Structure formats: C-alpha cells, structure tokens
Amino acid sequence: MKRISFYQQIKKNKRSSVILILSTLIILFGLITIIALAVSEEYFFTVIIFGTIFSIVYILISLFESSQIILKSVNAIEATPEEYKEYHNLVEGMCLASGMPKPKLYVMKDNQINAFATGNKPEESIVCVTTGALKKLNKQELEGVIAHEMSHIANYDIRFMSLVAVIVGLISIISQIFLRSSWRSSSKNSDNGNAQIIFFLLAIVLAILSPLLVTIVQLSISRKREYMADASAVKFVRSPTGLIHALEKIKSDTSEDKISVPDAVAPLFLTKPTKTHELFQTHPPIEKRIEILKRM
C-alpha cells in the first residue's frame, strides 16, 4: 500500500473541500439565474431579499448560540480539573502540540465512546467527551480522540460547516418560494413563447433537484472534514496508533445506550453509527478511516 503523509492528506482534503463548496455556490447561482429567466424580475428580487435576511439571521443564530444549544441537548456538564485530571492533561498537551488556546472541557453521561467539539473560534471552543470514552479508552486512545476533536477546532470546521449549512438552507428556501409562487404566476406567463416555458420547466426541475444535490454535497464535505481531522490529529500526536485503536474499540463497542444526536450537530461528533447509505451519512465508514490512518 502506498504510504501517505499527513501533510499531503490535509492538503488534498482542503482542496476537495474548496471544490465542493464552489460546486454548491455554482448550483446556487445556477438556480437563481434559471429562476430569474423563468419568472418576472419583481419576484426575483423579493426572493433574494427574503433569502438574504433569513440566511443572515440563520448564520447569526447558528454562530452565536450553537455551542450552548448542543451542550444542553446532550446534557453535558463541565469537567473540573480536579475530577478529570487526565482528560485535562491530555487536552493541555494537544494545545501545546497545536499552539491553540485551551478549550472548555465537558463530559456527557453516556456509555458509548464518542466526543464532539464546537465553537467558532479556537478562543471560544469546547470539547466534550462521553463518560464511556473516559472509561473504556486508555490514555493513548483518548489522546487520539481529543486530537481529532481539537483538529475540528483548528481547521475551523464548525464555522465552515455552518457556512455550508447556510448555503444549503438558502438554496432550499429559494426553491420553496419559487415552487410555491409558480402556481400563481404560471397562468399569466402562458403567452410568452417557447423559451419562457422551457426555462420555467427547467427552473421547476432545478428547484426540486438542487436541495437534494446540495445536501449530498454538504454531507460529502462533512465526510471530507472528518478525514481531514483524522489527518490533523496524526499531525498533532505524530502517531496514528491511538486514534486507530480508539476507532477499533468504537467499532466493536456494543453499548446500547445511544445519545440522541440532533441532525444539525451530527457532523461534530467523532462517529455516528447510522444505517443509511454512505452517500447520506455525515461520517465516512470507520473501516475506511482506519485504513487511511494505517497508511499514515
């Protein structure tokens, strides 16, 4: 098997994330132009104004409130340095390895091995692990998991994914408004010739397809960022062993007690075991992650 360096892996993932986000933007502008061609201009501008206001509100809420919402939704409590000495020590080590400030530490009561990170800036970040992870993982494995979570913070994944979510949201809003308003406008447009009708049909098809398409792109970006966080974790620890062992433990872990993770925050978690097709998952399959880590 060809060996890959973590530097190469990080570079490659960065590039594909950029390509993916560009393609969502292209879909967005394609949708807008087709709709603009299909309907009269006045509708176009109302759609844009509403979409923009909504997405600004959306981005503000998701940027400023998300951490608290997530912490509440999983019942996380703050981890004190007295009670969780090793956890604190490992995080401090990773801060030194990455040059980042120390995040706030939380734990959530759950038997499963899992963890997540949140926060828009390294200065205001939060790392949270399950009690199951603290109990079942040894020092090296826990370090790998923490390194993965801190990588999400270092790579600005949380902010990046919020941005993608806003674009996706914007696209579905535009599609919705168009599909709803097209019922009313379709009758009076009937005498505008063939081109108008073709654009109109095209716009309807696009309005239906593009939300689905960008969701797939969004999930694909999420999976890319997962690989990237794995690679950065290796960069911090200089060894993939801990994370590999941790992922293997997660794979064979049969704890029933599952945290109900809201869809919106699922990409932040270390792993999310779901049974849907790979195309519709926020995380790449554990086997694939282990395989790539083993080559580093």
Partner 1 sequence: MTTLMIILITLVVLLGVTFLSYYNKFVRLKQTIENSESQINVQMKKRADLIPNLVATVKGYATHERTVFSEVTKARTAFMSAKSFESKVKANAGVQTALKGVFAVAENYPELKASANFLQLQQETSAIEDKIAYARQFYNDSIMTYNNTVKVIPGKWFASLYHFKEIKYFDIPEEEKVVPSIKF
Q: Does 123 bind partner 1 (CB under 8 A)?
A: no
Q: Mask 178-217, x = binds partner 1 (CB under 8 A)?
A: ----------------------------------------
Among residues 139, 180, 294, 295, the one that binds partner 1 under rule CB under 8 A: 139
Cβ pair 282, 272 in contact under 8 A = yes
- Number of neighbours of residue 131 by Cβ within 10 angstroms: 16
Q: Does 82 bind partner 1 (CB under 8 A)?
A: no
Q: Does 92 bind partner 1 (CB under 8 A)?
A: yes
Cβ pair 153, 125 in contact under 8 A = yes
Distance CA 49, CA 38 (A): 18
Q: Find the part of the chain contacting partner 1 (CB under 8 A) among 96-104, 167-175, 220-228, 278-286.
A: 96-104
Q: Does 86 bind partner 1 (CB under 8 A)?
A: yes
Between 161 and 229, name the residue whose CB sits nearer to partner 1.
Answer: 229
Between 97 and 266, name the residue whose CB sits nearer to partner 1.
Answer: 97
Q: Mask 213-252, x = binds partner 1 (CB under 8 A)?
A: -----------------------x-x--------------
Q: Find the part of the chain contacting partner 1 (CB under 8 A) among 88-96, 103-111, 161-169, 193-201.
A: 88-96
Q: Does 295 bind partner 1 (CB under 8 A)?
A: no
Q: Does 85 bind partner 1 (CB under 8 A)?
A: yes
Q: Does 109 bind partner 1 (CB under 8 A)?
A: no
Query: How many residues in the shown chain lie near partner 1 by CB under 8 A?
Result: 13
Long-range contact pairs involving 255-262 (C-beta distance under 8 Å, separation at least 24): 255/111, 255/112, 255/113, 255/132, 256/111, 257/110, 257/111, 257/112, 257/132, 258/110, 258/112, 259/74, 259/108, 259/110, 259/112, 259/114, 259/130, 261/74, 262/70, 262/73
Q: Which region holds residue 107: left if phi is over 0, alpha if psi is between -120 and 50, else beta?
A: beta
Long-range contact pairs involving 16-23 (C-beta distance under 8 Å, separation at least 24): 16/224, 17/160, 17/221, 17/224, 17/225, 17/228, 20/217, 20/220, 20/221, 20/224, 21/163, 21/164, 21/167, 21/221, 23/217
Distance CA 145, CA 97 (A): 14
Q: 104-108 and 77-78: which strand pairing?
A: antiparallel
Q: Find the part of the chain contacting partner 1 (CB under 8 A) among 37-45, 95-103, 175-183, 283-291.
A: 95-103
Q: Does 93 bind partner 1 (CB under 8 A)?
A: yes
Distance CA 138, CA 244 (A): 12
Among residues 98, 112, 125, 220, the one that binds partner 1 under rule CB under 8 A: 98
Between 92 and 287, name the residue whose CB sits nearer to partner 1.
Answer: 92
Q: Find the part of the chain contacting partner 1 (CB under 8 A) among 12-20, 42-50, 82-90, 226-234.
A: 82-90
Q: Does 135 bind partner 1 (CB under 8 A)?
A: no
Cβ pair 278, 285 in contact under 8 A = yes
Q: Which residues are catalytic?
A: 149
Among residues 99, 183, 194, 276, the one that binds partner 1 under rule CB under 8 A: 99
Residues within the interface to partner 1 (CB under 8 A): 85-86, 89, 92-94, 96-99, 139, 236, 238
